[in-house]
């Protein structure tokens, strides 16, 4: 296996290397990473974003709108409620748009500023850092945790480990209940689960997602980012020489080596890196950024904060590790408006516009026409031609609605047999059997294409009308 992966892009090739082991590894014998806590600008930003994201995730399912849960993806009844908007299986296209927009937004952001999604917003990272926080509060600093793991089992060690795992399990359970609360009435879910009334499947899914959260954030951590998540692998296709990523300035840092604060590195033949290894110890994926751009890097900026702290203490200029581009490191000037980024931006804007248009012009009801398959037409006692249909009206709104039915472009005169004014309850489907009868003198063709017209007049807005095409069959002469 080569130890460099060549990643080709249309314009600028970028080399991303697999992680090399550090000389001063911060992993245990079983390859567990002991992440060291660090303070700094990027960690503050990351924590605040993570807090906002977490608060939104935890609070949104508790919001009420019109006396109902504001966000509820009701899989059983196949309806997705998002405040006043209800999406049905017929609206699958809108969901597809959302996924396409999310994908292009990710491409755009990755091309511009690398894997910041992974470092700042990905649930895997946010939850992992929360679990590390529990670990640190209970077992102590990185050094204390390493010592504790080396010690034989004792009462104190057992207590700390038990407390940590209990906190992890409880937080995982809370996460799982919140997540399932997006798909099931959350207030009842909590009560039913803790009173053992939730039923087999609901309890199963709660426990399943609890186990997934515990295993992911507690044990798997960076393995998910480096070995399982496909984004780590294909991100390189979006990188170019102008992508901002966390990078070490080797021309300034090398030769690395320890020295006293008062020593002049130039006299010692050293660069600015004092080889303290702090950037490695704070890295949640366990890599040494000084080895170059690596696909394991999630762009979290922890190593920047660690190194900036060291530079400060040494009296050197900050930024030995920074968000920068390969072109800048080579001494060039980066171009923000390059064809790839502009292309992604244009596609993103077009996608968002199309999605907004589809959402704004979306009808709050649907009409499905099912014709009688056994008999295309029937001749009644008067010699008139009769066609029979079943009209299915789906009320996609959250209010009961009255719908007016009619036809257009059929014949100068016709008879409608069946209901023409129909009340459909919110989120319900009504099936209306209808027969259309036309005298032969008004029928000049074997088949006539016409429209069923359905109109809804809300009390507080403009009438909405929908035309659905159908076909009337005459006798075959």
Q: Which of 22, 285, 395, 397 binds ligand SF4 (CB under 6 A)?
A: 285
d(C-alpha 142, C-alpha 240), whole Å: 36
Cβ–Cβ under 8 Å, residues 421 and 403? yes
Is residue 310 a contact residue for ligand SF4 (CB under 6 A)? Answer: yes
Kindly give the pairing relationship between strand 415-417 and strand 5-7: unpaired
Residue from 274, 422, 437, 443 binding ligand SF4 (CB under 6 A): 274
On whether the CB atoms of residues 245 and 7 are closer than 8 A, the answer is no
301 belongs to the binding site for ligand SF4 (CB under 6 A): yes
275 binds ligand SF4, rule: CB under 6 A: yes
Window of 165-173, 186-194, 285-293, 342-350 that interacts with ligand SF4 by CB under 6 A? 285-293
Any contact of residue 321 with ligand SF4 (CB under 6 A)? yes
CB 334 to ligand SF4: min, Å: 19
299 binds ligand SF4 (CB under 6 A): yes
404: helix, strand or coil: strand
Q: Is 307 in the site for ligand SF4 (CB under 6 A)?
A: yes
Residues 6 or more apart whose CB falls under 8 angstroms from that of 82 comprise: 70, 71
For 164, the token pair is 């940590």
Tokens of 359: 């959402």
> Of the candidates 7, 273, 411, 436, which one interacts with ligand SF4 according to CB under 6 A?
273
Whole-number Å distance between alpha carbons of 7 and 355: 33
Q: Does 236 bind ligand SF4 (CB under 6 A)?
A: no
Distance CA 444, CA 435 (A): 19
Helices (H) and strands (E) in the chain, counts: 16, 18
Strand, helix or coil for residue 386 = strand
Question: With respect to ligand SF4, which residue has the nearer C-beta, 40 or 181?
Answer: 40
Interaction between residue 33 and ligand SF4 (CB under 6 A): no
- Identify the residue among 276, 347, 352, 430 touching ligand SF4 (CB under 6 A): 276
Which of helix, strand or coil describes residue 408? Answer: strand
One residue of 132, 298, 393, 454 binding ligand SF4 per CB under 6 A: 298
- By the rule CB under 6 A, 303 interacts with ligand SF4: yes
Residue number with CB closer to ligand SF4 (226 or 474): 226
CB atoms within 10 A of CB 79: 17
Among 173, 217, 236, 320, binds ligand SF4 (CB under 6 A): 320
Smallest separation (angstroms) from ligand SF4 to the CB of 83 = 37
> With respect to ligand SF4, which residue has the nearer C-beta, 11 or 31?
31
Tokens 């102590």 sit at which residue?
A: 140
Q: What is the DSSP string of 276-297?
A: --HHHHT-TT---GGG--BTT-
Q: Give the residues lining the site for ligand SF4 (CB under 6 A).
A: 246, 248, 253, 256, 273-279, 282-285, 287, 289-290, 297-303, 306-307, 310, 320-321
């Amino acid at each position: 296996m080569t130890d460099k992966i060549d990643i080709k892009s249309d314009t600028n090739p970028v080399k991303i290397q697999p992680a090399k082991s550090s000389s001063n590894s911060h992993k245990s014998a079983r390859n567990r990473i002991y992440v060291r806590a660090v303070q700094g600008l990027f960690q503050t930003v990351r924590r605040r974003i993570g807090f906002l994201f977490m608060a939104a995730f935890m609070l949104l399912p508790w919001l009420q709108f019109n006396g109902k849960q504001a966000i509820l993806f009701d899989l059983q009844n196949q309806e997705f409620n998002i405040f006043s908007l209800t999406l049905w299986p017929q609206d699958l296209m809108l969901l597809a748009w959302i996924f396409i927009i999310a994908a292009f937004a990710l491409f755009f952001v990755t091309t511009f500023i690398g894997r910041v999604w992974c470092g700042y917003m990905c649930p895997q990272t946010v939850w992992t850092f929360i679990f590390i926080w529990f670990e640190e509060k209970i077992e102590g600093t990185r050094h204390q945790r390493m010592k504790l793991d080396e010690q034989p089992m004792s009462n104190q060690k057992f207590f700390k480990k038990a407390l940590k795992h209990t906190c992890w399990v409880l937080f995982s359970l809370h996460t799982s209940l919140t997540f399932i609360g997006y798909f099931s009435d959350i207030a009842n879910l909590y009560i039913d689960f803790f009173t053992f009334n939730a039923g087999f499947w609901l309890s199963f899914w709660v426990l399943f997602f609890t186990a997934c959260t515990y295993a992911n954030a507690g044990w798997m951590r960076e393995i998910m980012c480096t070995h399982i998540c496909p984004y780590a692998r294909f991100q390189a296709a979006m990188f170019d020489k102008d992508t901002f990523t966390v990078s070490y300035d080797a021309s300034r840092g090398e030769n690395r080596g320890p020295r006293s604060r008062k020593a002049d590195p130039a006299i010692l033949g050293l660069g600015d890196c004092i080889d303290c290894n702090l950037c490695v110890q704070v890295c949640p994926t366990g890599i040494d950024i000084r080895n170059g751009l690596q696909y394991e890097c999630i762009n979290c900026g922890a190593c920047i904060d660690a190194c900036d702290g060291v530079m400060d203490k040494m009296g050197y200029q900050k930024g030995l590790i920074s968000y920068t581009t390969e072109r800048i490191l080579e001494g060039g000037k980066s171009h923000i408006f390059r064809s790839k980024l502009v292309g992604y931006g244009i596609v993103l804007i077009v996608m968002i516009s199309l999605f907004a248009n589809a959402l704004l012009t979306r009808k709050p009801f649907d009409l499905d026409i099912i014709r009688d398959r056994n008999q295309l037409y029937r001749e009644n006692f008067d010699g008139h031609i009769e066609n029979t249909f079943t009209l299915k009206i789906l009320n996609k709104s959250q209010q009961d609605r009255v719908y007016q039915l009619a036809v257009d472009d059929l014949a100068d005169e016709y008879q409608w047999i069946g209901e023409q004014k129909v009340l459909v309850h919110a989120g319900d489907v009504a099936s209306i059997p209808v027969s259309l009868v036309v005298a032969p003198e008004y029928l000049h063709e074997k088949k006539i294409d016409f429209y069923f017209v359905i109109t809804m007049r809300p009390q507080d807005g403009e009438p909405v009308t929908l035309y659905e095409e159908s076909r009337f069959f005459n006798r075959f002469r």
